[in-house]
Amino acid sequence: MKELNEHIKDVQKQISYWFDNVDLLYQAFTRRSYSQENGGENNEVLEFVGDRVLDFYVTKILMDRYGYTKSQLDDFDSEESDDEFVVDTYTNEGSLTNIKKKLVNKKMLAHRIDKLGFKEYLFMGNGDIQQHKENEESVKEDLFEAILGAIAIDSNWNPDELENSVSFMLNMDHYLNHGFTEDDDYVGLVQQWNQKEHGEVPDYDFQEQYNGGFIAYLILDTPRGRIRYQAEGDSKAEARVNVAELAYNDLDEHDELFTILDELPEELTLENSINTLQELAQKGYVSMPEYDLSEDQVYDNDGNSRWACTCTLRSHSIKEIAYATSKKVAKKYAAYLCICNICGLEDQFENDATNIK
């Protein structure tokens, strides 16, 4: 686990909110198991607050984006029609009810915590640490909501700050513009690039325009020198996505991006395959791997007993089944096969009949 105090500035950058009372942010990262062992408060009450904040501001942002009264239309005739509230159909994802469910469900909130890299900063008791509770979706969901609750208390329920942080933390403009996939998260991709290149989260500056929109500015130190990007958007979050996309495409055009191959160890082996796949998931290249070990052994054509393990990567629709002489080796081999599949590598153990198949 990483120490939160060493990364507290980066955390606040990523949620687009700077705390007056930073103790509230520490509380948001504190599990009950930790407070029971060490004293102090935990994040449960902040989670309660954040759940209400999330529900309200996701609804508000959706209504602001897709809803309007008929009088706002150029061809509105008050004599022929009542001034009623209308919501445009969002055909790509169905009804607004479905969109809202996708934005606030446990899986999405856990995914966003993974993207932000926040689970590593949790304060947990010994039992939680041993059980790796930080990997559970419900724990990450609680953390997401607790952070919003901390912002609510610290800002004295400032509506602009709350709406801004909900939009930033969920990256709503990305999902509403591109659909509910993990692809092309430009803010996350640029962040990964800058952290790998310079070891820090990039800074975004904003300028409000007279028409209510925003201009976002981003400065990156590239191999070509320091480059300043700017892009507009109707909100701070949208402007940030737009300028990040502009920067990402520029880095891509000049072959300055890292690829998944740059993240692999010098030699990919069975021993490092599980950790490697986990790190790729944490950095946003793939979804979190899901492993399914067989309850019973299977037998090959020669009558040798083998254990089976299936590794699934939902982001790439990949499912690899591996067979080995032990459960541990089967899991390692399944992770190894997934990495080979994604990266176009040859299976170096394909003909190893003694240890693996």
Write the DSSP assignment of 275-314 as a string of letters: HHHHHHHHTTSSPPPEEEE-SS-EE-TT--EEEEEEEEEG
Q: What is the DSSP string of 158-194?
A: -HHHHHHHHHHHHTHHHHHHH-SSSTT-HHHHHHHHH
How far apart are alpha carbons 255 and 337 in whole angstroms?
28
User: What's the mean per-residue pLDDT of the chain?
Assistant: 86
Is pLDDT of 357 > 70?
no
The amino acid at 237: A
The predicted model scores a pTM of: 0.57
For 7, other C-beta atoms within 10 Å of its C-beta total 18
- Which residue has tokens 């508000």? 60
Q: What's the pLDDT at 260?
A: 81
Task: State the catalytic residue, choosing from 145, 154, 173, 320.
Answer: 145
Average pLDDT over residues 218-228: 94
Query: DSSP assignment, residue 90?
Result: B
List the domains of the chain with CATH numbers. 4-174 (1.10.1520.10), 188-258 (3.30.160.20), 261-343 (3.30.160.20)
Residue 77 is among the residues annotated as catalytic for this protein: no
How far apart are alpha carbons 204 and 13 in whole angstroms?
9
- Which residue has tokens 């920067």? 247
- pLDDT per residue as tens digits for the range 16-58: 899 999 999 999 999 999 999 999 999 999 999 999 999 999 9
- pLDDT per residue as tens digits for the range 290-346: 999 988 888 766 777 889 999 998 877 789 999 998 999 999 999 999 999 999 899
- pLDDT per residue as tens digits for the range 134-180: 988 899 999 999 999 999 999 999 999 999 899 889 988 777 766 66
Is pLDDT of 75 > 80?
no
Residue 82 is among the residues annotated as catalytic for this protein: no
Q: What's the pLDDT at 47?
A: 96
Task: State the catalytic residue, choosing from 47, 51, 142, 154.
Answer: 51
Average pLDDT over residues 127-131: 90
How far apart are alpha carbons 183 and 181 in whole angstroms?
5
Is pLDDT of 93 > 80?
no
